[in-house]
Amino acid sequence: MRPESLEIINQSIHQLHSLAGALAEEVGSASPAQLPLTPTRRSCKEVLLTLSVLLPKLEAAKRIRE
């Protein structure tokens, strides 16, 4: 793998972790009065679930390529 590809993977991992943190704050900030979850918060949870699958795969690809 070319060094540029590894750098793209590293940047993607960093950005996706940042996104996951922001989404977790959004979902976590739901007060009991806001339950059930709004469509926006529900979407955030779905994206977080997707990221929880994608990030380990990207991190594994990075370890293989290093």
pLDDT digits (tens, 9 = 90+) for 34-64: 667 788 888 998 999 999 999 999 999 888 8
Q: How far apart are CA 41 and CA 6, in angstroms?
A: 33
Residues in contact with 27: Cβ distance below 8 Å, sequence separation at least 6, in sequence order = 37, 41, 44, 45, 48
Provide the residue range defining the domain that includes 58. 3-65
Domain count, the chain: 1
**What ranges make up the beta strands (E) of 5-62?**
none
- Band of the pLDDT at 23, cuts 50, 70, 90? very high
